[in-house]
Amino acid sequence: MIAAVAMTVPMTLVHLSTVDIAIIVFYFGLVLTIGMYLRGRSRTGEDFFMAGREMTAWIAGLSFLSANLGSLELMGWAAAAYQYGILATHWYWIGAIPAMLFLGIVMMPFYYISRTHSVPGYLKLRFGEPSRALSAVSFALMTVLMSGINMYSMALVLKVVLGWDIHFSIWVSSATVAVYVALGGLRSAIFNEVLQFILIWAGALLIPILGLVEAGGWSNLRLQIARNASAEYTHLWSTLGNFKDNPMGIHWTGIVFGLGAILSFGYWTTDFLVVQRVLSAKDLRAAKMAPIIGATFKMLVPFIVILPGLLGLAVLPVKLTGETAALATGGHSYNEVLPLMLARYCGPGLLGLGITALIAGFMSGMAGNVSAFTTVWTYDIYRALLKKNESDAHYVAMGRWCTVLGVLISVGTAYLVMSFASIMDYVQALFSFFIAPLFGTVILGMLWKRATGPGGFWGLLAGTLSSISMWAWVKVDPAALRYVALSANARDMAENMYRALWSWIVCVVVTIAVSYLTKPRSDAELNGLVYGVTAIPREAEVPIYHRPTFWATVVAVLFVAANILFW
């Protein structure tokens, strides 16, 4: 995304002191030590792939959020906030909170009581082997592509900020992740993700706090943004009545239905990268509480990600531009706003902490994708299709080797990402290809007992192919945007939202049509897999303030209040 721009930067933005270097080296040593320590506790398949299913709600919840707190969060959305303003917050609030609460209260009982190792594993139980195989292959492909994004983004930050060679950075980060995930499996990934969560907040908090002090508070910040860009950049909902009235070129229907109802629910409830963390919880109550805890912190993440982008609009002395313009002028692109703000506010020691926070975020995202890829490959592709009756030790060994393989493939995709004009478009395209139709299949499977195996398979395939076809159609004929995104004035982000919505509709319609043409399974066969024919386990009687539904309601009220506050 900014490789070409980075090549034009004649010197590094910052220089590390001895203290800064010591902090970074200490971090790398600590994550490797955790991996070595946990190796002895990851000998069985349940230990290696599911962390023994013994995580508390807090550990699972923080890991659930941290696995998503990678390069897309730290770099991509800070850049999006500079480019689109506070509208980028939608990807944290309406694009996450309702879906996370729905996962905890509605969907986790089915995932947890079925004792499945993965979302494709649930599809195997509900729809049969063809649906499992299709979703597993799609998910494995998506995870290694996403892992490459995290790896490349971290290497690029280290190049732009510190002047490190990009190839050296890619291989050092990938080797570190490969070692600690291969040694400790999911348990190692989870404990490192909790550590990375703490480091990210400790390091990233510096920018918004110091930036707000310089800007003179939120009210003065809004005035400066209105002067330097537009007053539209600080409104969350009021500008979404027309495609032309906001910087993103999107309508509220795209945000509410494309993002809020489809992409967010698809990601947070069916993407095994995050669901796997919740499945590691020690009991059903912990599994239900984990996404609710994650949702609470998710509402705060814009403070350390979106706010730096908004501050850049107000306080940076230079105006950032798109990649093409930056390359032509030798300036800085949107995507460099976070490193620029880091260089602006952080001195010796603080700079090392800030850089470590960025590294932790990138490695967290990469490790999350690699550990999820390892589980899906081993259980849903290798064991299901290639080696069905091997020993548990054999599958653990395959998981360790698969971790190394997944990292190597991710290195290849990191270099592939360099050829794309925009990482954000790349990521959102992947989500619309694989996540949106998968959500249609899973939600119909859980809520509609009439859905059949052939219906699930053909619906998922049709939804995936339709999304890829719409993407290719717009690439070949840009005028097709008016049909896909409902307006010729829509921009790339709007196209992603509407393409996700259409692919979900195609998946649901095909699944329903084929299901009515094929024979359903009996209620007895669907016990434990579908609402209405499953006895949901009751939790122990506890005070109301210990119940997941109570805390989900509290988070929902805070979510509504925050949207009204920044309307």
Q: Identify the pLDDT of residue 52.
A: 45
Q: Letter for the amino acid at 318?
A: V
pLDDT surpassing 80 at residue 561 = yes
Nearest residue to 92 (alpha-carbon basis) of 77, 82, 70: 77
Nearest residue to 34 (alpha-carbon basis) of 144, 200, 202, 186: 186
Gap between the Cα atoms of 121 and 135, Å rounded? 9
Average pLDDT of span 315-326: 65
- Bridge-partner residues for 321, per DSSP? 333
pLDDT in tens, 227-266: 887 778 888 898 888 877 777 778 888 888 888 888 888 8
User: Taking the C-alpha atoms of 274, 54, 385 and 514 in order, what is their torsion angle to the nearest 10 degrees?
Assistant: -50
| Stronger pLDDT, 507 or 273, i.e. the higher one | 507
Question: Please, which residues have CB within 8 angstroms of residue 429's CB and are 6 or more apart in sequence?
Answer: 471, 496
Name the band, by pLDDT with cuts 50, 70 and 90, for residue 186: low
Gap between the Cα atoms of 373 and 402, Å rounded? 8
Q: Identify the pLDDT of residue 517.
A: 94
Q: Identify the pLDDT of residue 465.
A: 93
Nearest residue to 64 (alpha-carbon basis) of 108, 34, 124, 123: 108
Q: Identify the pLDDT of residue 129.
A: 85
Kindly state the tokens that stand for 307: 């706010």
| Stronger pLDDT, 11 or 304, i.e. the higher one | 304
Place of tokens 């260089």: 343
Gap between the Cα atoms of 465 and 89, Å rounded? 30
pLDDT in tens, 124-133: 888 988 888 8
pLDDT surpassing 70 at residue 41 = no
Gap between the Cα atoms of 463 and 441, Å rounded? 9
- Report phi then psi at 388, rounded to 5: -85, -25
| Stronger pLDDT, 27 or 521, i.e. the higher one | 521
Q: Letter for the amino acid at 105?
A: I
Report whether 459 contacts 543 (CB < 8 A): no
pLDDT surpassing 60 at residue 557 = yes
Name the band, by pLDDT with cuts 50, 70 and 90, for residue 459: very high
pLDDT surpassing 50 at residue 6 = no
The DSSP output letter for 521 is: P
Report whether 75 contacts 335 (CB < 8 A): yes
Gap between the Cα atoms of 261 and 98, Å rounded? 9
Q: Identify the pLDDT of residue 114.
A: 66
Name the band, by pLDDT with cuts 50, 70 and 90, for residue 8: very low
Q: Identify the pLDDT of residue 231.
A: 79
Q: Identify the pLDDT of residue 1.
A: 37
Q: Identify the pLDDT of residue 45.
A: 47
**Distances in Å between the alpha carbon of 481 and those of 247, 376, 493, 494, 497?**
17, 35, 12, 10, 12
* CATH no. of 3-537: 1.20.1730.10
pLDDT in tens, 135-164: 888 877 777 777 777 677 667 666 666 666
Tell me what percent of the residues of the chain surpass a pLDDT of 90.
Answer: 9
Nearest residue to 351 (alpha-carbon basis) of 12, 31, 77: 12
Name the band, by pLDDT with cuts 50, 70 and 90, for residue 396: confident
Let me know how many helices (H) and strands (E) the chain has, helices first.
Answer: 29, 0
Kindly state the tokens that stand for 139: 């998910």
pLDDT in tens, 506-554: 999 999 999 999 999 998 888 878 887 877 766 667 777 778 888 889 9
Report whether 364 contacts 273 (CB < 8 A): no
Q: Identify the pLDDT of residue 503.
A: 92
Gap between the Cα atoms of 198 and 483, Å rounded? 44
Domain map (residue ranges) of the chain: 3-537
What is the rounded average pLDDT for all residues in the chain? 76
Report whether 509 contacts 502 (CB < 8 A): no
